[in-house]
Amino acid sequence: MDADIFDQFIDQLGRYVRERLIPAEKDILESDVIPDAIVDEMRELGLFGLTTPEEYGGAAMTIAQYIRTIRTLSYAAPCYRSIVSINIGMVCSALKNGGTEEQKAEWLPRLAAGEIASFGLTEPGSGSDSAAMQTSAVKSGNGWVLNGTKRYITNAPFAKVALIMARTNKEALPKNAHVSAFIVPLDTPGISVGSPDKKMGQAGAHIADIIMEDVKLPADALLGGEEGRGFALAMKSLDNGRLSVGAAATGYARRALDSALRYANERKAFGEPIANFQLIQQMLADSEIEIYAAECMLEDAARRADAGENILRKAAAAKVFATEMCGRVVDRVVQIYGGAGYLAEYDAERFFRDARIYRIYEGTTQILQLQIAKHMLREWAAQA
């Protein structure tokens, strides 16, 4: 997207976040649902097709522009990013990187227009461990039959399509070649979606199980028309997904810090605003420092992605730092609020609950630490 047009878009989005999305948060907290009118407005703004090529109806943003957009959007409640990010950072990314021309032509325009998608990797007994994946896809005639259960799947209760990872070989193969990816309309016979799980936070963002029982799919449901590439495509799209989660955590940390700044200037103790107290100032300053560091990491990783670099390690590092940073910031914000920070009527309590998941989904901090170290050791061994 042209830089000047992008700057205008960010200004427009910032106003929309402040004037429309944040005022709607109270109703979402009570109903646990994003109003249909707001979802339609987000479609009209083009938020479901930010990085989709223009020929498929998208805005053709660079990765850097996309991450800046997510950071701006994530100043508001997390559910707003959640509903669009699976389309953009996960499913559309996998389609762009590995779909056939026919698959791109059919699905990218629909997803860019706001047809909501899910990404099915995690299972009751496996997440990052593909060798433990139980969902299977077996050839049947000219097509496939899927069986299995996917767990904690974002958007599942209202998604129209899911990208499902399934093993097409019973044996665990090198480079995870036993896993393939399938484009699965969720109204296909044999698919059922569980009730939305009750969560600690992130009201309006829904997750549920996707259960597949003898689900028959045509041959062209196989992403890219090739077996054994599903996990590789999933991991490549997770790079964008992890940058998106890092951007979400960074945008929300900024929101929490702004709230703490306002409270610290309004709340008085010993006859003066608590913002005058040096230990309060230390918590504010430490939060500002860490948010700035996360912003720089995200911008650098996104720029490298746009340049064609393999950013697996840097995306993991940015995600770990940004999400752990957000956890520290919201903890400080509760502390700045004091006793009020523990009460549901104040925002600090919600920020604390909402932020906790960022360190878990799309790669826990611990799994990503292992991944980063593994690649460091592999590079060291290659140079030795």
Domain count, the chain: 3
Indicate which CATH number applies to the domain containing 376.
1.20.140.10
Residues 70 and 204 placed together within one structural domain of the fold? no
The answer to whether residues 130 and 182 belong to one domain is: yes
Could you tell me the pLDDT band of residue 128, with boundaries at 50, 70 and 90? Answer: low
Domain boundary (97, 115, 133) is at: 115
What are the structure tokens assigned to 284, written together? Answer: 């504010």
Residue 116 DSSP SS3:
coil
DSSP labels, 45-95 = TTTT-SSS-GGGTS----HHHHHHHHHHHTTS-HHHHHHHHIIIIIIIHHH
β-pair partners for 118: 162
Answer yes or no: do 245 and 359 share one domain: yes
pLDDT score recorded for residue 89: 81
Which residues does 357 contact at the CB level (< 8 Å), separation at least 6? 199, 200, 201, 202
Instruction: Give the model confidence (pLDDT) of 280-317 as tens digits.
Output: 999 999 999 999 999 999 999 999 999 999 999 999 99
Residue ending a domain, among 115, 141, 169, is 115
CA atoms in the 13 A half-sphere facing the CB of 323: 27
| Same domain membership, residue 255 and residue 195 | no
Residues 339 and 311 reside in one and the same domain: yes
List active site positions. 362
Please indicate, yes or no, whether residues 244 and 377 belong to a single structural domain of this protein.
yes
Q: Is 98 found in the same domain as 135?
A: no
Looking up tokens 């996309």 gives 66
Percentage of the chain surpassing pLDDT 90? 85
Q: Verify that 206 and 308 share a domain, yes or no.
A: no
Q: What is the pLDDT of residues 47-59, one digit of tens each?
A: 999 999 999 999 9
111 lies in the same domain as 123? no
155, 56: one domain = no
Between CA 124 and CA 14 the distance in angstroms is 38
Phi, psi dihedrals of residue 123, rounded to the nearest 5° = -130, 170
Q: Is 356 exposed, middle or buried (0-12, 13-18, 19+ CB in 10 A)?
A: middle
> 182 and 146, same structural domain?
yes
| CATH code of residue 20 | 1.10.540.10
Q: What is the CATH number of the domain that holds 165?
A: 2.40.110.10
- Domain enclosing residue 204, as ranges: 118-228
Name the domain boundary from 211, 228, 245: 228
Q: Report d(CA 153, CA 329) in Å as an integer.
A: 27
User: Does residue 255 share a domain with residue 137?
Assistant: no
Q: Do residues 318 and 245 touch, judged by C-beta distance below 8 A?
A: no
Q: Convert the pLDDT of each residue in 190-213 to its tens digit.
A: 999 999 999 999 999 999 999 999
